[in-house]
Amino acid sequence: MQVPLLTVENLSVRFKMPDQVINAVNGVSFSLNTGETLGIVGESGSGKTVTVLSILGLIPKPPGEITGGKALFEGQDLLPLSTEALRSIRGQEISMVFQDPMTSLNPVIKVGEQLREALWTHNPSESRSNHRRRGIELLDMVGIPQPERRYNQFPHEYSGGMRQRAMIAMAMANRPKLLIADEPTTALDVTIQAQVIETLKAARRETGAASILITHDLGLVSQIADRVIVMYAGRIVEEGRIGDIFSRPRHPYTIGLLASIPSITQRRTKLYSIPGQPPDMANVPPGCPFHPRCAVGGERSVCRSDSPRLAEMGTRHQAACHFTEEAASWLAGRAT
Amino acid sequence: MTRYVARRLLHGILVMWIVSTAVFVIFRLVPGDPAAMTLGLDASPEDYEALREELGLNDPTHVQYLRWMGNLARGDFGKSITHGYAEVSGLVFPALGRTLELAALSILLAVIVAVPLGMISAIREGTWVDHIARVFTTLGFSMPTYVMGIGLLILLAEVFPLLPPGGYVPFGEDPVKHLSQLIMPVLTIASVTAARLTRFMRAGMLEVLSADYVRTARAKGLTERRVNYWHAFRNAAIPLVTEVGVNFGLLVGGMVVIEQIFIWPGLGWLMIQSILTRAFDVVQIAVLVSAATFVIVNLLVDLTYSWLDPRIARS
Amino acid sequence: MNTAAVQKPILDIRDITTSYHIRRSGAQKATTLVAVEDVTLSIKPGETVGLVGESGCGKSTLGRTIIRLLEPSAGTVSFAGQDITHFSHQQMRPLRQEMQIVFQDPYASLNPRFRVRQILYEPFRIHGISKAVAGQKIPELLSLVQLPPDSLRRFPHEFSGGQRQRIAIARALALEPSLLVLDEPVSALDVSIQAQILNLLEDLQTELGLAYLFIAHDLSVVGQVSDRVAVMYLGRIVEEGPRDAVFNSPQHPYTIALLSAIPDISAAQGQQTRERIILTGDLPNPLDPPSGCRFRTRCRRGDQLCVDQEPPLAPVSDSLVACHYPGAEDSGPRS
Ligand SMILES: Nc1ncnc2c1ncn2[C@@H]1O[C@H](COP(=O)(O)OP(=O)(O)OP(=O)(O)O)[C@@H](O)[C@H]1O
Ligand SMILES: Nc1ncnc2c1ncn2[C@@H]1O[C@H](COP(=O)(O)OP(=O)(O)OP(=O)(O)O)[C@@H](O)[C@H]1O
Ligand code: SF4
Ligand code: SF4
Ligand SMILES: [Mg+2]
Ligand SMILES: [Mg+2]
């Protein structure tokens, strides 16, 4: 077995607010191999963003605080590193694309300048004109028309899709080994989304980078990830290869989530909907955090008292539920 | 861009027209006419009538108004009767110069203090630097200018006689004295303004530091220094320009008390003196000039703003 | 949802054009932005018409014109057989009860300083309905949208996004409207909550016989709830027809691309999917739309005819399609 590019072990992060403590991430573990694409899905507030920001030391401290765990990148734990030491990883080995292209670029600095800066900070010895040339090449690579002219424009002169492409160009500038994209297309229109996804795929192919794609769009994940992590209340509730998760989901939450999606190919008479509300992260229910909404084990005492651990369901397929067998038959019952 | 400038200019001219009309109306219609104001209550009816004639107050109002506007448009501010028929502009403009000198130096000092202080207190939010900065700003806010001015005066001129207790000597005559006379009024004004600007800078920086693009800058692997002083500062500085401009404009018109305390013969001082000597012809021009300065400063601020912020400059 | 019988439409709009006069800073003259142009659409009682299209194509503008929050610059709006195109504010007042709107953002649309009770009382107050009647109806509304009775004492910030959207729906239903314009009611919600709201809307329709104009940019959501679907591009309807016709045999190249661009989970579940078509380019500037067919700058089929002539909305099999070369396959001259 190959050594994973990134291994996150037991990561826990909390936010200490004046009146409450939010345990945003609780004992999250996963790993990622070179060239692989991992999807992270889950509802708003389930801890997806905090998980990846912690890896690069980007959560605001205070109020954020990493309370435990490791993030081994090529064998080196990133969590204890100083900001200065992390700097050579950020944007060079691991880079990020964020959700909102409208606010993720600095509005008063030209796009080209921001791009050049990403190159310059990791190769300060190279000449300015070299950086510029490479910057224009990158804009061209992500499909921005007239890259020379666009290089000297400000972000507000770009459309939303173009800004996100520029972000991708910037993230790819130093040929990182890992690209983390946090909801890269959520803020974009459907047709532009499709363009940006193609750009991302192309950039990945070109550099051979591994990637983590965070999204709440299960359709998107199914199309471009190799494996998926499903998060709920700051925990991983299920993890597995795309085919397994989408065809043989084992956790009631995953099952419910898949049944809630309207499909354009086959029209369902009525959607399944998971009852109840997402958990209040400052007051996560005891036991299995999903129990108040669970159709399988919601009433059982073990679900209310004991938090289930991730258990193997098959090859590289894990779920955290006390009653995965019943969940599977419940799914079969629903399908008929 | 030129269109924008033209529009702003037009706007400024409009404001000036309204102000000059208001001055005309106020000085002519509010109790006692200018002649009575100039002569005081116990003047003889003959003198009064003669002065009315001389000032053209017996002409119909619209004739007076047109003459007033016409003179202003030509830059003719008239002569002051109470000042022995001296040119009013010869009184007002030097005074304006002295006020501007005071205001500019104070603003400069305030900015020099406030920008780094506000920035550092935002970057090091919650540390001792931040706490000191906040104590300083609260003090500056809660202390009225005249209290600060008089306090300084007592301390540095009476208790420890290090500085002259006010007054004015032109720079050309005695540069050292001139500068030493500037110290106290500048300190007084600057400390209050610096408090305001520090708070503004701190709030602006805090907001910018939590912006998405700052996170992007960090994720690129830039140094903290570059993130703070290049990415964040550039954004926080733009609204600061407006704030500085507005403060400067307010200072020019609001220096009355300070100039009085430190006997600095600026515009505010001139206004008070002229009111006391019933030199209404000087007062009205002083008011106009002070308003004009405010308008011009604001115009410059807007232009700088649109030049600094690419999002506005384009349209 | 149930297919409406042959009935008179509750809402009928003909050749509607709605424009905004916008003034760009620095510009001397105001420019006119035609946000909706020449749109014809009707909705029958108990029917759901889905309206899809990308951001800025004019969906909200059309929705607001329909319930006369905006006045169209051309065309007619008829509600229940009555021409209300140029009704004054006063004349509209009694009709306001009949048509309500629910907005996208459940955070911005509820007054944060009001308790839920006050929020729900507002529509009654505005229409001069007695407190006694309102007091009786408010708990009913709450149970209609499946919120617990103790919600009345609470403030909006104490609710999650999905719950807030329920409150907004309850408020819209207060005066028993016959038409509800739903402007992206689930766009801000998570998948699991989105399904709850969609189901709720469906139940309410069955129970109360409401007609919906359902606006969304998410085609799969629209496909789930609609009886008929209209696709908009840059202010115009480019395709309109029964749900199954539009989804199963789309005719307009834009509809085809839009449908193919949706990431669908079917492939991962081992089912067949459509071929993906990636449209090139961005949306054109609505202030300066292309000549002829507005879609031509991004269309693979277009030719000179498309540059010269705007295609009219014309019947093609079961739908109305605005394209010179309609068809499910790439049947254009340049394909
Ligand atoms: N800077 C912060 N201060 C306080 N709490 C925070 C902060 N950032 C995140 N949190 C909390 O941590 C939890 C997890 O947030 P996170 O942003 O990781 O969610 P997410 O899964 O990315 O959701 P979304 O889909 O909305 O982006 C949330 O409950 C959130 O309120
Ligand atoms: N109040 C307004 N003043 C000027 N222009 C407006 C106004 N509201 C909308 N527009 C413009 O009209 C066009 C249509 O806007 P509209 O809000 O109807 O689009 P939409 O399809 O609802 O978009 P979205 O999906 O983003 O809500 C856009 O180009 C928009 O910029
Ligand atoms: S552990 Fe129990 S409550 Fe949790 S998901 Fe499984 S069955 Fe449901
Ligand atoms: S009319 Fe022409 S350009 Fe427009 S959609 Fe049809 S084929 Fe394309
Ligand atoms: Mg997130
Ligand atoms: Mg809209």
pLDDT tens string C236-260: 999 999 999 999 899 999 999 998 8
Where are the extended beta strands (E) located within chain A? 6-16, 21-32, 37-42, 64-73, 76-77, 94-97, 178-182, 210-214, 227-232, 235-241, 311-314, 317-319
d(CA C172, CA A187): 28
| DSSP 8-class letter at A11 | E
Structure-model confidence comparison of residues A53 and A144, the more confident one: A53
> Please, which residues bridge with residue C11 across strands?
C43, C79
CA of C18 to the centre of ligand 2 (A): 11
In A169-328, at which residue ranges do the beta strands (DSSP E only) sit?
178-182, 210-214, 227-232, 235-241, 311-314, 317-319
Contact indicator for A120, A204 with CB cutoff of 8 Å: no
The per-residue DSSP string of A236-255 comes to EEEEEEHHHHHHS--SHHHH
State both tokens at C77.
């709006």
pLDDT digits 0-9 by tens, A221-240: 998 899 999 999 999 999 99
Cis omega (within 30 of 0) on the bond before A63? yes
B235 close to A106: Cβ distance less than 8 angstroms: yes
- If one compares B159 and B130, the residue with the highest pLDDT of the two is B130
One-letter amino acid for residue A296 of the chain:
V
Inter-chain touch C25–B3, beta carbons under 8 Å: no
Residue with CA nearest ligand 1 atom 9: A50
CB C185 within 8 A of CB C221: no
The rounded distance, in Å, linking the Cα atoms of B219 and A53 is 9
- Protein residue with its CA nearest to atom 22 in ligand 1: A49
Residue B87 to residue B76: CA distance in whole angstroms? 9
Q: Please name the fold of domain A6-225.
A: Rossmann fold (3.40.50)
3-state secondary structure C257-302: HHHHHCCCCCCCCCCCCCCCCCCCCCCCCCCCCCCCCCCHHHCCCC
Confidence band for C28, pLDDT divided at 50, 70 and 90: low
Instruction: For helices B88-123 and B280-308, give the axis angle rounded to 10 degrees.
Output: 40
Element at C180 (helix H, strand E): strand C179-183
Highest mean pLDDT among A211-215, B51-55, C152-156: A211-215
Supply the pLDDT for residue C190.
84
**Of the given ranges (A188-197, B206-215, C11-20), which has the lowest mean pLDDT?**
A188-197
Q: What is the pLDDT of residue B263?
A: 84
Query: Which whole number is the average pLDDT over C279-290?
Result: 85
Lowest-pLDDT range of A45-59, A225-239, C20-34: C20-34
Who has greater pLDDT, A175 or B308? A175
| CA C105 to centroid of ligand 5, rounded, Å | 18
The structure tokens listed for B1 are 């861009």
Q: Is the pLDDT of residue A40 over 90?
A: yes
B217-246 residue pLDDT tens = 999 999 999 999 989 998 998 889 888 988
- For chains B and C, count residue pairs whose Cβ atoms are closer than 8 Å: 12
Asked if C24 contacts C31 with a C-beta cutoff of 8 angstroms, the reply is yes
Helix axes B2-29, B61-73, angle to 10 degrees: 140
Whether C24 and B4 lie within 8 Å, measured CB to CB: no
**Contacting subunits of B (3+ beta carbon pairs below 8 A):** A, C
Of the listed ranges B232-241, C4-13, C178-187, the least confidently predicted one is C4-13
Instruction: Check residue A223 and give its pLDDT.
Output: 87
Residues in chain C closer than 8 A to A223 (CB atoms) = 263, 267-268
Architecture of domain B92-314: Orthogonal Bundle (1.10)
Q: Which amino acid is residue B13, in one-letter code?
A: I
Kindly state the average pLDDT of the residues C302-317.
Answer: 92
Delimit the domains of chain A by residue range: 6-225, 230-335
The model's confidence at residue C4, banded by pLDDT at 50, 70 and 90, is very low
Which among B212, B220, B227, B314 is the top mutation candidate for probing chain A, defined by the most A β-carbons within 10 Å of its own β-carbon? B220
Mutation choice for A interface testing from C252, C265, C277, C285 by most A CBs within 10 A: C265
Taking CB atoms and an 8 Å limit, are B220 and A88 in contact across chains? no
Is A286:A272 a contact under the CB 8 Å cutoff? no
* Residues C314, C318, C324: CA angle, nearest 5 degrees: 30
pLDDT of residue B171: 80
CA distance C30 to chain B (A): 14
Please give the share of chain B, as a percent, with pLDDT higher than 70.
96
Choose from B1, B3, B302 for mutation: most chain C CBs within 10 A: B3
Cross-chain Cβ contact C199/A273 below 8 Å? yes
The verdict on a CB contact (< 8 Å) between C28 and B3 is yes
Mean pLDDT, residues C26-50: 86
Residues of A whose CB is below 8 A from C285: none
The protein residue whose alpha carbon is closest to atom 7 in ligand 3 is: A297
Query: pLDDT for B182-198, tens place per residue?
Result: 888 888 889 889 999 99
| Most informative mutation of A48, A50, A103 for ligand 1 (most atoms within 8 A of CB) | A50
Under the banding of pLDDT at 50, 70 and 90, the label for residue B32 is low
Average pLDDT for chain A: 88
CA atoms of C69 and C101, how far apart (whole Å) = 10
CB within 8 A of B303, min separation 6: which ones? B5, B8
CB pairs under 8 A between A and B: 80
- B174 CA from centroid of ligand 5 (Å): 66
The reply to whether residue B212 touches residue A98, judged by beta carbons under 8 angstroms, is yes
pTM of the complete model: 0.83
Is the confidence at residue B278, as pLDDT, over 50? yes
The whole-number pLDDT of residue C335 equals: 37
pLDDT of residue A53: 94
Task: Give the separation between CA A36 and CA A162, rounded to whole angstroms.
Answer: 26
Q: Does the pLDDT at position C179 exceed 90?
A: yes
Decide if B223 touches A, using CB distance below 8 A: yes
| CA–CA min distance C27, chain B (Å) | 8
ipTM (interface predicted TM): 0.86
Contact A108 B215 (CB under 8 A): no
Q: Chain C closest CA to A47's CA: distance in Å? A: 14
Helix axes A252-260, A324-335, angle to 10 degrees: 20
Q: Tell me the residues of chain C between 23 and 42 that have a Cβ less than 8 Å away from chain B.
A: 24-28
A311-314 and B79-80 beta bridge pairing: unpaired
Q: Choose among B1, B7, B315: nearest Cβ to C24.
A: B315
Q: Where exactly are the structural domains of chain B? A: 2-89, 92-314
Q: What is the dihedral of CA C219, C224, C229, C231, to 10 degrees?
A: 0
Point out which residues pair with A37 in neighbouring strands: A211
If you average pLDDT over every residue of chain C, what do you get?
Answer: 87
Mean pLDDT of A103-118: 92
Question: Which residues have CB less than 5 Å away from ligand 6 (the ion)?
Answer: C 60
Q: Tell me: the pLDDT tens digits for A307-334?
A: 999 988 888 899 999 988 887 777 767 6
Give CA separation, C292 vs B309, C6, C231, C257, in Å.
Answer: 38, 35, 18, 20
Of all residues in chain B, what percent carry a pLDDT higher than 90? 19
The arithmetic mean of pLDDT across residues B112-141, rounded, is 89
Neighbours of B10 (CB within 10 A): 10
What confidence score (pLDDT) does residue C333 get?
43
Q: Which chain B residues have a beta carbon less than 8 Å from that of C26?
A: 1, 3-4, 7, 315
Tell me the C-alpha distance between B277 and B281, whole Å. 11
- Tell me, what's the pLDDT at A6? 95
Q: Which of residues 79-138 of B touch A (CB under 8 A)?
A: 126
Q: In the prediction, which pLDDT does B299 show?
A: 85
Higher pLDDT residue, B47 or C308? Answer: C308
Per-residue model confidence (pLDDT) at position A334: 65
State the number of CA atoms in the 13 A half-sphere of A75 facing the CB: 2
Quick check: A36 and A210 in contact, CB under 8 A? yes
- Is the bond preceding residue A62 a cis peptide, omega within 30 degrees? yes
**Report for B152-156, B276-280, C88-92: range of highest mean pLDDT:** C88-92
The minimal CB distance from C266 to the residues A217, A263, A274 is found for A263
